[in-house]
């Protein structure tokens, strides 16, 4: 049986070249018509919930930090004593602290040797801890505030003409929220009392409300990202809320790279706008100070979740696997780390 193959060829030589100048008015008109569909009315309540919950989250974390201690690694650069001078290179443990933003919820830091140096080469060093703040729990992520969602792309020379606002607020504003009508709309607002006057039950209620606000913010941002576009740079943590990224050359890459500071954009996720800030989680069966040789037994948790559980709140079940709540303690017979 003979098979016949038919070759179909296309001649592109007869096609005329596309004239973008003629298509430009049509493209601009389609962009204008698209802008009429935004903001989506069904997402406006979600945007308000995100703004309200974000305010409660900041207020709750600030209150908990007055009673619970948070430690972060000391990022002070210090040269070795024998290399102090004009051309001195930074060495020693303080040099290694610059490459890692380690945070721990507790009175004293852990003893896990996760301090890393240049290019994340392991140094097997312990962290030098200092008192942390709210920015160590809720990582700030800023972006350009657009005057119009479908405006022209921000150029490099125009980067100082736009204000920088938190990315969550910018996403909520583009979704139709009015920041002037947020304060009186909070149904779960608790009074900002001094932490010293709060009892253990009151502290637990603050932890429960803060943890609820954390979950509402993350779930609300996830819903908004399904309707509104947000970009994040592949090489740095720059976030842009809008249909396309900006052209400001602020990427923190080396000067010899070919893109010369231009961001390489990709679709942003919830963790890009609301970073969870994963920390080591100490369980009741763990020792007071987490030891490095038993690090495989310990669990992790977002810093907000760990802080709220220390106040008495119950962590959501979706974090149980990460926290290893029912895991073995360090007292395991016949186990050699």
Q: What is the pLDDT along the chain (337 residues), one digit of tens a residue?
A: 455 555 555 554 445 677 777 887 887 777 666 667 778 889 999 999 999 999 999 999 999 999 998 888 776 433 333 333 333 333 333 323 333 478 889 888 777 777 665 555 556 667 778 888 999 999 999 999 887 777 777 787 778 888 889 999 999 998 988 877 655 444 444 445 566 778 889 999 999 999 999 999 999 999 999 999 899 988 888 898 988 877 787 776 555 444 566 778 889 999 999 999 999 898 888 888 887 778 888 889 999 999 999 999 999 999 999 998 887 776 655 555 5
The residues spanned by each domain of the chain are 39-50+139-273, 70-132+276-323
Q: Specify the pLDDT at position 336.
A: 57
For the full predicted model, state whether its pTM sits above 0.85. Answer: no
For residue 112, the model assigns a pLDDT of 77
Query: Three-class SS string for the chain?
Result: CCCCCCCCCCCCCCCCCCCHHHHHHHHHHHHHHHHCCCCCHHHHHHHHHHHHHHHHHHHHHHHHCCCCCEEEECCCCCCCHHHCCCCCCCCCHHHHHHHCCCEEECCCCCECCCEECHHHCEEEECCCEEECCHHHHCCCCEEECCCCCCCCCCCHHHHHHCCEEEHHHHHHHHCCCCHHHCHHHCCCCCCCCCHHHCCHHHHHHHHHHHHHHHHHHHHHHHHHHCCCCEEEECCCCCEEECCCCCCCCCCCCCCCCCCCCCCCEEECCHHHHCCCCEEEECCCCCCCCCEHHHHHHCEEEEHHHHHHHHCCCCCCHHHHHHHCCCCCCCCCCCCCC
Position 99 scores a pLDDT of 34
């Amino acid at each position: 049986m003979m098979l016949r193959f038919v070759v179909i060829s296309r001649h592109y030589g007869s096609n005329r070249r596309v004239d973008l100048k003629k298509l430009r008015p049509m493209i601009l008109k389609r962009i204008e018509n698209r802008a009429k569909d935004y903001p989506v009315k069904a997402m406006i309540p979600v945007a308000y919930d995100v703004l309200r919950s974000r305010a409660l989250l900041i207020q709750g974390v600030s209150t908990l930090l007055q009673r619970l201690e948070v430690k972060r690694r000391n990022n002070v650069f210090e040269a070795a004593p024998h290399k102090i001078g004009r051309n001195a290179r930074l060495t020693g443990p303080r040099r290694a602290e610059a490459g890692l933003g380690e945070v721990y919820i507790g009175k004293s830091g852990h003893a896990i040797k996760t301090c890393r140096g240049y290019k994340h080469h392991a140094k097997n060093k312990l962290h030098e801890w200092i008192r942390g703040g709210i920015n160590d729990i809720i990582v700030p992520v800023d972006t350009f505030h657009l005057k119009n969602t479908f405006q022209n792309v921000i150029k490099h020379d125009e980067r100082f003409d736009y204000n920088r606002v938190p990315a969550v607020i910018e996403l909520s504003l583009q979704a139709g929220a009015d920041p002037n009508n947020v304060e009186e709309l909070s149904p779960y607002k608790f009074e900002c009392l001094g932490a010293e006057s709060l009892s253990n039950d009151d502290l637990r209620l603050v932890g429960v409300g803060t943890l609820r606000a954390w979950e509402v913010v993350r779930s609300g941002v996830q819903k908004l990202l399904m309707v509104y576009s947000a970009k994040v740079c592949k090489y740095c943590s720059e976030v842009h809320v809008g249909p396309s990224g900006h052209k400001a050359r602020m990427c923190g890459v080396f000067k010899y790279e070919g893109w010369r500071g231009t961001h390489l954009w990709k679709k942003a996720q919830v963790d890009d706008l609301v970073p969870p800030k994963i920390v080591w989680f100490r369980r009741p069966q763990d020792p007071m100070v987490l030891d490095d040789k038993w690090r495989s037994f310990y669990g992790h948790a977002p810093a907000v979740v760990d802080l709220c559980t220390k106040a008495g709140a119950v962590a959501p079940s979706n974090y149980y696997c990460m926290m290893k709540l029912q895991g073995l303690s360090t007292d395991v017979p016949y186990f050699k780390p």
